[in-house]
Each structure stands twice: as C-alpha cells, then as structure tokens.
Structure 1
Amino acid sequence: MSNRQQSVRVAVVQAASVIMEREASTEKAVSLTLEAGAKGANIVVFPEAFIPAYPRGLAFGTAVGSRSPAGRKDWLRYWENAVPVPSETTERLAAAASKAGVYLVIGVIERDAEASGGTLYCSVLFFAPDGTLLGKHRKLKPTGAERLIWGEGDGSTLPVFDTPYGKIGALICWENYMPLARTALYAKGVQLYIAPTADARDSWQATIRHIAVEGRCFVISCNQYVNKAMYPTDLACYDELAAAPEEMCPGGSAVVGPLGDYIQGPVYGKEELLLAELDLRDVAYSRFDFDVVGHYARPDVFQLVVNEKKQETVTWRT
C-alpha cells in the first residue's frame, strides 16, 4: 500500500440504535459519522448490530419446542428493518463515509439477499473514504439465544483490508473468544483489530487487552449504551423486558494499544464519541519480542487450515 501513514485518528461511537428502526438508526449513523469526520477522524467504528438493533432482553416468544405468534410478529419487524447488502441503506452509509472522508466500519443486521431472504446475519460492513463498500464480515457463531435469530457466516467473509493506516479487520463480540478465528486475522497481518460487541462485562476488558498483547495490534472495541426507555413499547413481546434493569447495556468502549495498555476508555454510563490518536509504528515496536504468526510461531508443530470458500446449499450441475 502506497502513501502509508504513520498515525491515524480513530473515532469509536458508543451510542444506541433507534431500536427496531432501520431508517432512524441509519440517519443517526450518518450524523455521527459526519461529526466524527469533522473532528478529524480517519476511521469511524460503530457497535455490533447498530442497524437496526441488538435486541438485548428479548426472547421473541421462544421456549424449547415452541414459538409464539407474538414472537414471530416481533421477529418479522426485526427482519423488515434489517439491511440488505447492497441496498439504499448501504448507499447512504457509503455517501456518509465519502462526505466525511473516512473509513467506516459499522455493525448491521444483514438480511440475506443472496438466497431465500429468510435468514438474518450479524455483520460488519467496511466502507472506504471514496464511498466504496469494501466488503463485509458475517459473524461465524452467534452466541446462546442469538442463534434463534441469526444464521452463521462462513469463511468467505473473513477479510482484512490494506489501507493507508494499516490493515483492518474485525471479529464480532464472542467470536473473539475463538482462538483460531483470531489466528486467521493475525495471519492476514491485521494491525487495527476491530471488535464490535454487546458485552459490557469486566471479562470483556480482559479479552480485548489480551488480544492486543497476543496479536501485537491495536484493538478498537465498540459497544452501545442502551437503557430500557429506548425500547419501543409497542413490541408484541415487550413484557419480556419486565425484569430487565433500566440500564440495559452500560457501554465499555475502549481502544487498546499493542502492549495491552488503554489509549482511550473504557467509557461507561453514557453515549460518547471516543477519539484516539494512534502511532502505527507501535505495532512494529511491540513485535520486537513477540510476533504470534512470525518468529513466535511453530508451524512445524501447529498449523491452521482456513476454508474461505463460500458454502452453497445447492450446487447446480449442467
């Protein structure tokens, strides 16, 4: 990559979706992207599932062996507000990235536009400063009850993109607990490791600091700040939130350097735009004594095979 820069300003957007509303969530994302660009950001990162929501606390009327009509109604609303890729929504996000002059990395719930259309994926979209949709990553393994509403991605969406600010890639939330998935990104040379999440626990902070030290990379972790009052009260299964705390997700967004030290955050208890100035030389500086896929690797003992072929349900032969 020519025109390699030695530093980058990253904006981490700790904000809530307009829950279950694709258009309003997109408008909020556009506004915050432009704000970050005006503050000199080169890369803008949004949380997991920002458009149209991470539906924390909802069970969609499910129990083992049954689904309720009310739950199906809420899931249909979620589906209708999900994001086809490409679509008018991705065009608006691309235009915002172009106007702000930033790389935009944003979590969306993607509606499958390639096959039946009946499956949703938790995805991250990557946009370039010229508005190009560079690609996407689909979450490989939804966690727990997420498996009721999202499908599984495959190895065909594990990109790492070379930019003037280094190589960027992403794993979503608890994918980051998958050592082999992390290794795949390390092997692609990731330097700006983006970790959109819905996890606000202390253990998540330990995770992102470990990844930074393990990968000798910057880790940019972005979570939402959400309270119960932000949920639409006309959800058919709104009563599922009765026992939920008023503060549904306190945040915890942070930027960590390649030796595991906080550069920004973690920030809790509010929506906030975090700005971090990163010296990209710190990646090489940190790898003097540890390079997990370089001089500290033992390929004679351990090897990882990654299947990046798109998996097809039906193969047509003529």
Structure 2
Amino acid sequence: MDTVRVAVVQAASVMMDQEASVEKACRLLEEAGRQGAELIVFPEAFLSGYPRGLSFGTVVGHRSPEGRKDFGRYWRSAVSVPGPAIDRLSEAIVRVQAYVVMGIVERADHGGQGTLYGTMLYFGPDGTLLGRHRKLKPTGSERLIWGEADGSTLIVIDTPFGRVGGLICWENYMPLARAAMYDKGVTIYIAPTADARDTWQATLQHIACEGRCFVLACNQYVTKDTYPQDLAGYHELDAWPDEMCRGGSAILGPLGDYIAGPLYHQEGILYADLDLRQIEEARYDFDVTGHYARPDVFTLVVDERPLKNVSIP
C-alpha cells in the first residue's frame, strides 16, 4: 500500500461510566468509518476516563474513606480484557472494517486483582484484539491509581500499511523506550496523551523527526460537565476552569510537519491520507536504527519477559 487514510478522534469519555463510554466510542468509530478511515485512534484512557483534577482523598500518609469510594467507582468503570466492553467494541469494529487503537483503563482480573493499568489496545478490522501495551511509568499522581507494566507489552502491529506502535503520554519522554520502539521498525507511531500544553507539540515533532515516522497524536477534549456530580471529590474541581483539557490532537509527517491539527477547544475527528513513500524519503539522510546508529558505541538491552511475583514450576 502506498497510502492509508487515518482518523484521530478527539473526544471526552463519559467519566466513570463504562457503558456510556463504549456507546460513544462505537458512534465515533462508525462516523470515522463512514469517512473511509482504515486506521482509527482514540485518546488515552477513553474507556472510561482520565480523572483529571481528582485526588481520591489522598495526601501523604492518609487516604480518606470518601476517596476510597470514588476510587471504587473508578475501578468498577474500568475495562476487563477480555470482557463485555471489548466484545461490544469488536462488534463495532467489524462493521467499520478498520484497524483501531483504543485507550482504556484496564482492570487486572487476576494476578494483582485490584490494580488498574493505563493501556492501549490494538484491534484488527475483523474485530480481533491483536495486542495491548500497558503504560510502563504512570506519571505523578497517576501512580496512585495505575500500576507499572513490565516490558512484555512493548509491541508493534504489522498491518498492510506498515508497522503500527507507540507509547502513552509521558512514556514518550523516555528516550530508551522510544529507542526500543524505533528498533521494532515502527512507521506509524501512536501517541495518545492527557497533556494539552504547547510543549507537548514540540515532543510530537521531535518524535516524527527522530523516528522518521508518521505520528498520530490523540488527546481528549474535556469539560467539567463530563464528570458525575455526585462524586465525593467533585468539589475539588472548583479550582479548575470549565474547559479542563483543551485537546491538541494532531497528525504529523516523518519530517515533523503537521498534516492535520493540532485541534483545540472542541471535540472532533482529524483525517489524513498518508503517503507511505515519505517514510523512505525521510530516512534518506537520517535512519535512527540504520545508518545513524552506532552499535559499536551504544547498545540497549530490553527485557520483554512477562514478570510475575510467583513462579510455580
């Protein structure tokens, strides 16, 4: 394939409501499918919410009973893999016949039950779950609600239009994690995030130039009215503006140029027809794992084993 039509969805979750968030995801999938998208990307934690502004009753040395109840609600809205939410999503993907990357809050249902992960799921056009990437390093207060992953989910997915893979939010600030993805031959790099600052755009351009790859960057557009008002910690949002996350989704080419976006201050879907021949053209003078590598000087060892606390022979 020389070209592929891609779609980047900028929208808010229905916070802590799995069923409504899945329903919204299915609607947006079908909208993108009607526009001919062959690869559709959703934001970080779209199912079922990035709880910006909430503390879950935590300060150093103390967790409040009310905060625990809010966390319980958040946990129950998270997604089991496999599970009913995945089944509904797969059914919608079959109708659309596109590759899909979906950001979820994943609930571990065995081996650490109770732990949540920031996860990116990859689906094929037949609805099959092709793989998942769990966030290696939750950032800041995310560490209170999400666990750290091992290296076993550092993956890329082979498609007819190239190798698709990526990292979640501030994982993209980890140079060695990026190096691991480049070495896997990623050509379409997925970068979902919750970061809406101007400096994030510089990061996206750097990744595109460094990896000589297309970058599909996806964020939510979030306002206060997407939160349930009966949360115990809802008053914590008083200090926030009504527009809690302005977005900033974008599609970039392998020389760091913007093809679409960045999109701010609204929900929407960005579309682009990617000319895949630009990958080789861009790597003519810079190939980060080819003629610009120096394995005689620098080497990176990546442990991709799934790690467990208990090993039973």
User: What's the TM-score once normalised by structure 1's chain length?
Assistant: 0.98
Q: Give the distance between the partners of 1:67 and 1:118, measured in 2 at CA.
A: 16
The equivalent position to 1:47 in structure 2, one of 33, 43, 46, is 43
Aligned-residue offset at 1:269: 0.3
- Could you say which residue in structure 2 is the equivalent of 1:242? 238
The equivalent position to 2:175 in structure 1, one of 171, 176, 179, is 179
Q: Give the distance between the partners of 2:295 and 2:206, measured in 1 at CA.
A: 22
Aligned-residue offset at 1:173: 0.2
Q: Does 1:209 align with 2:209?
A: no
Which SS does the other structure have where 1:242 is aligned? helix
The equivalent position to 1:70 in structure 2, one of 66, 71, 80, is 66
The equivalent position to 1:34 in structure 2, one of 30, 33, 50, is 30
Which SS does the other structure have where 2:54 is aligned? coil
Aligned-residue offset at 1:53: 0.1
Q: Give the distance between the partners of 2:49 and 2:90, measured in 1 at CA.
A: 20
Letter of the 1:10 counterpart: V
Q: Does 1:117 align with 2:95?
A: no
Deviations 1:123-155 (Å, cap 9, x if unpaired)? Answer: 000000011100100000000000000000110
Deviations 1:136-179 (Å, cap 9, x if unpaired)? Answer: 00000000000000000110001101100110002000000000
Aligned-residue offset at 1:315: 1.0
Aligned-residue offset at 1:98: 1.2
Indicate the RMSD between aligned Cα atoms, in angstroms: 0.6
- Could you say which residue in structure 2 is the equivalent of 1:104? 100
Q: Give the distance between the partners of 2:14 and 2:164, measured in 1 at CA.
A: 27
The equivalent position to 1:230 in structure 2, one of 203, 212, 226, is 226
- Runs of 4+ in structure 1 deviating by more than 4 angstroms, as ranges, are none
Deviations 1:262-300 (Å, cap 9, x if unpaired)? Answer: 000001000001111100111111000000010000000
Residues 120-135 of structure 1 correspond to what in structure 2 (within 5 A)?
120-135=116-131
Deviations 1:158-204 (Å, cap 9, x if unpaired)? Answer: 11011001100020000000000001110000000000000000000
Aligned-residue offset at 1:95: 1.3
Q: Give the distance between the partners of 1:133 and 1:20, measured in 2 at CA.
A: 23
Which SS does the other structure have where 1:85 is aligned? coil
Q: Give the distance between the partners of 2:127 and 2:109, measured in 1 at CA.
A: 21
Residues 1-318 of structure 1 correspond to what in structure 2 (within 5 A)?
5-317=1-313
Letter of the 1:112 counterpart: A
Aligned-residue offset at 1:92: 1.1
Equivalent pairs: percent with the same residue? Answer: 64
Which SS does the other structure have where 2:45 is aligned? coil
Q: Give the distance between the partners of 1:164 and 1:81, measured in 2 at CA.
A: 34
Letter of the 2:246 counterpart: P
Q: Give the distance between the partners of 1:284 and 1:88, measured in 2 at CA.
A: 41
Aligned-residue offset at 1:64: 0.2
Q: Give the distance between the partners of 2:11 and 2:151, measured in 1 at CA.
A: 29
Letter of the 1:302 counterpart: F
Q: Give the distance between the partners of 1:170 and 1:93, measured in 2 at CA.
A: 21
Letter of the 2:109 counterpart: A
Structure 1 runs not aligned, ≥5 long: none
Letter of the 1:84 counterpart: S
Q: Give the distance between the partners of 1:171 and 1:273, measured in 2 at CA.
A: 21
Letter of the 1:213 counterpart: C
Letter of the 1:288 counterpart: Y
- Greater Cα shift, 148-157 or 237-246: 237-246
Q: Give the distance between the partners of 1:218 and 1:211, measured in 2 at CA.
A: 9
Q: Give the distance between the partners of 1:220 and 1:175, measured in 2 at CA.
A: 15
Which SS does the other structure have where 2:225 is aligned? helix
Aligned-residue offset at 1:229: 1.8
Q: Give the distance between the partners of 1:114 and 1:274, measured in 2 at CA.
A: 37
